[in-house]
Amino acid sequence: MTRRIAYLRVSTAEQRPDRQILGLRHVADELHLETLSAVARKRPVYDEVIARLRPGDVLVVWALDRAFRSVRDAANQLFQLQERGIRIHIASVRLDMDTAYGRWQYNTLSANAQYERENLIERTKEGIEAARARGKRLGRPPKLTPVQVFDAHYRIETKQATRVQIAAEHGIQPWTLTRAINRSMAGPAN
């Protein structure tokens, strides 16, 4: 009996898989959701789904970028799955991978997905650089104010308290305090 097993993925817990669930629940027997970046080294849910597939089964995904990392990955996975007698169904575009046209479309879509991903990365980097150029501080806010760092450094140097004691007072790890002191002594970054 042919099983239609769906793999769904969102990159972060804040992203919602609703669109994928709605698109796949009527075309798949099972839905397997993973919350993880596509470029993560290990994708346990994906690996489990692929391992469970048997000849005659169909791997169902909403879109290529939900399952594959790049054009090469998509082509390699398609080849490996076909070698095992497993078909792929991309629900958002209804590809028939049994035809030359379907395989051409698959490769074109995977190239488009990779282009979009690389373009997004480039735009993100440009946005970060533009924010830095405007003087924006990016990242997590500092745990300690400059006054707290100065006071901690003074108390450590005059042996009034240890790094561990001061870190405990502020509810931070000692290495966080050490980094803050080292950063303040190094001056502003260029």
97 near 106, Cβ under 8 Å? Answer: yes
Choose among 13, 17, 9, 75: nearest CA to 44: 9
21-25 long-range contacts, CB within 8 A, separation 24+? 23/62, 23/91, 23/92, 24/60, 24/62, 24/91
SS3 34: strand
CA dist., res. 126 & res. 131, Å (int): 9
- Looking at the chain, how many residues does it have? 190
The encoded tokens of residue 131 equal: 């924010």
CA dist., res. 175 & res. 177, Å (int): 5
Which residue out of 11, 70, 92, 184 is catalytically annotated?
11
Q: Please give the C-alpha separations between residue 95 and each of 10, 56, 60, 172, in angstroms, as whole numbers.
A: 22, 17, 11, 53
184 near 150, Cβ under 8 Å? Answer: yes
Annotated catalytic residue 70? no
The encoded tokens of residue 34 equal: 């993973």
Residues annotated catalytic, as ranges: 11
